[in-house]
Amino acid sequence: MRKQWLAAGVSIALAAGVMAAGIDFSDFDDALMESMDDAIRELDSNVGGRDARASLANAAVLGEGFAWAEKYFAAKPEAPLGAGYAREGKEHLAVVVQAIEAGNFDAASHGVRAVVRTCKACHEAYKPPE
Amino acid sequence: MNRITSRRDLLIGAGLGAGSLALGALAPGAAFASQAASNYIDPLAPRQPHFPAKVKSVIWLHMAGAPSTLDLFDYKPQLIKLHGQPLPESFSKNLKTATDGGVGALTATPRTWKQHGETGAWVSDLLPNIARHVDNISFLKGCKTEGSTHVISSLKLHTSALTPGRPSLGAWITYGLGSANPDLPAFVVLPTGKGGAGGGNGQVIWSAGFLPATYQGTSFRQGDSPILFLQRPDRVVQAEQRATLDLLKQVNEKHASRYPADTELEARTRSYDLAYRMQVAAPEAVDLKQETAATRAMYGIGENPTDEYGTAVLRARRLVERGVRFVHVISGTQEDGIQSWDAHQEIEKNHSIMSKTVDKPIGALLRDLKARGLLDSTLVVWTSEFGRTPYGQTGDGRDHNPWGYTSWIAGGGIKPGTYGATDEIGLRAQEGIVDTYDLQATVLHQLGLDFQKLTFQHQGRTEKATTVFGDVIKPILA
């Protein structure tokens, strides 16, 4: 498994207790975020390859990740935007899943980009620097 | 489909064939490499873009070491007012600093500022020559990136990754469009200065990554022989070399006829011919004696501190004239103690020297390209791995700032003006935010390449130049 966040490429020491933006993320599930990074890249590739089965498997990983992140951030008032980003990610992902199931891979590809933008917005707010 | 007869056939079919599929899909009528040498297609053969291109070439002016754009383009009256005060919490909130220098007091630029041209773009007195061309430039004042070290952020700027291994933008462009001049490399790197690799980053920022190696940048040296080991040895005359190569070709072709599925043999034979042609073409392309004395003087050649950088930039113009797709010019200086724009201390001295080094040559480049009608078919990009902070460091320097800085683009299909902005003190990008992925996507777009469709299969995944990120910066397109 690649040790990356989206575009990070370098493992993030959140679990080791690095403080980002003055917020303690030592209880953050770094491994889950790494699997989401893999999943979004795979999803982008598999949607491009019109592989519905693989794409839906990737979407499932992302769905679990967003659900976890929503719960995590809801319990972290010092990071108030996080839960909203997670919900937004879930909503965009639902559109992607619907499009894949309908065989509309162009719409799915468009939706993947929306998911990516949401991930990026959250990282810009809360991801520690490399 | 060819019958696979050996392990070698299998590897060629699996590896090169995948590239063939990928490129064939984006460029009708072309392929990266077929599975049979008899159908061999040069991987550098010119290919059609996805849609009509605005430009043919890119001159990528990489300001290695990260200039303080707060001292060059991003005029901030509020920073002047707050000079000497601690960074206000309203600006520092959620700021994720990671370098060792700490956060010093806000430091105003001592430069004098003026608006220039019809667009009224702000440029400081450090860059009087570039300032004359602002009406050809789109300033991207809301740039941001990731990372806080030169290596990581340079990798991201050029390869869209924070670790080595991905192809650089120039490699993707070469892969997408092939070469427009079979006698020259399509992707040339022109390092300058004592730290010639640029920000200590070296070849990884012009690498082909997982693309075939033929798409990597070729680094040119200063002097009459720009490519290492290209020139004929002194004691071998041209006729002797030609006769040797002809004999080698005959022998290789005879051998290759026994292995019609082996593209490597065909590629090897062609590479000898390419090197032979380059022996003539490459020195000619960078021979500045063919330029008038006035042109050389305009670029600051023959005087300090512009001689080396001016030489590189004039070479860049000559290379795009000859069809080179992507010329990556890396700024540096021969000045003792200063290798790049990386001014953690003595920023006044550093930026004074670095600005003098690049300003006159870049001003000349813009003027020259325009006069020759080349600015319409060339994209000139001025950028760096990040900018520098509005707060001070070590008393007279500035720290790295990945959160907000200025880049600019000039040339074909670009609308002059100012797009985006940093906050009131120039710390963070606030409007019209442009990430490095967006800059890359826009460059590809101007070359007629859809960054979403330019793909390559690698380890079972469809890879793209900007990974999963990026948006074309549409507001700056004419």
Interface of B with A in 69-128 (CB under 8 A): 93-98
Long-range contacts of A44-49 (CB under 8 A, 24+ apart): A44/A109, A44/A112, A44/A116, A44/B462, A44/B464, A44/B468, A45/B460, A45/B461, A45/B462, A45/B463, A47/A96, A47/A100, A47/A105, A47/A108, A47/A109, A47/A112, A48/A105, A48/A109, A48/B455, A48/B462, A49/B462
Q: Which residue of chain A comes nearest to B151, CA vs CA?
A: A130
Q: For position A23, what pLDDT does the model report?
A: 78
Q: Which residues of chain A lie closer than 8 angstroms to B163, CB-CB?
A: 9-10
Question: Cα–Cα distance between B211 and B187 in angstroms, integer?
Answer: 14
Q: CA dist B278 to A126, B172, B183, B246, B287, Å?
A: 51, 22, 5, 16, 13
Q: For position A20, what pLDDT does the model report?
A: 52
Counting as low any pLDDT under 50, the low residues of chain B are 1-37, 197, 199
The answer to whether B464 and A112 have CB atoms below 8 angstroms apart is no
Is residue B25 less than 8 Å (CB to CB) from chain A? Answer: no
Total-model pTM: 0.87
Instruction: Determine how many CB atoms are found less than 10 A away from the CB of residue B440.
Output: 28
Q: B96 and A21: CB-CB below 8 Å?
A: yes
Give the minimum alpha-carbon distance from B99 to chain A in angstroms, rounded to a whole number.
Answer: 10
Q: Which residues of chain A lie closer than 8 angstroms to B468, CB-CB?
A: 6-7, 40-41, 44, 112-113, 116
Counting as low any pLDDT under 50, the low residues of chain A are 1-19
Q: A7 and B156: CB-CB below 8 Å?
A: yes
The answer to whether A89 and A63 have CB atoms below 8 angstroms apart is no
Burial class (CB in 10 A: 0-12, 13-18, 19+), B272: middle
Burial class (CB in 10 A: 0-12, 13-18, 19+), B103: middle
Give the minimum alpha-carbon distance from A73 to chain B in angstroms, rounded to a whole number.
Answer: 16
Half-sphere exposure of B279 (CA within 13 A, CB side): 14
Q: B96 and A129: CB-CB below 8 Å?
A: yes
Q: CA dist B235 to B223, B231, B239, B463, Å?
A: 20, 11, 12, 47
Q: For position A30, what pLDDT does the model report?
A: 87
Is residue B149 less than 8 Å (CB to CB) from chain A? Answer: yes
Interface of B with A in 154-173 (CB under 8 A): 155-156, 160-163
Q: For position A9, what pLDDT does the model report?
A: 38
Nearest CA to B141 out of B75, B65, B66 is that of B75
Q: Which residues of chain A lie closer than 8 angstroms to B146, CB-CB?
A: 7-8, 129-130
Q: For position B100, what pLDDT does the model report?
A: 59
Question: Cα–Cα distance between B142 and B438 in angstroms, integer?
Answer: 12
Q: CA dist B93 to A125, A126, A127, B89, B181, Å?
A: 11, 12, 14, 6, 52
Pairing of strands B417-419, B405-411: unpaired
Residue B105 in tokens: 């007091």
Q: A130 and B461: CB-CB below 8 Å?
A: no
Q: Which residue of chain A comes nearest to B402, CA vs CA?
A: A129
Residues comprising chain A, all counted? 130
| Peptide bond preceding B185 in cis form (omega within 30 of 0) | no
Q: A7 and B160: CB-CB below 8 Å?
A: yes
> Who contacts B397 (Cβ-Cβ below 8 Å, separation ≥6)?
B101, B343, B344, B345, B346, B347
Q: For position A129, what pLDDT does the model report?
A: 65
Which residue among B93, B160, B469 places its CB closest to the CB of A116? B469
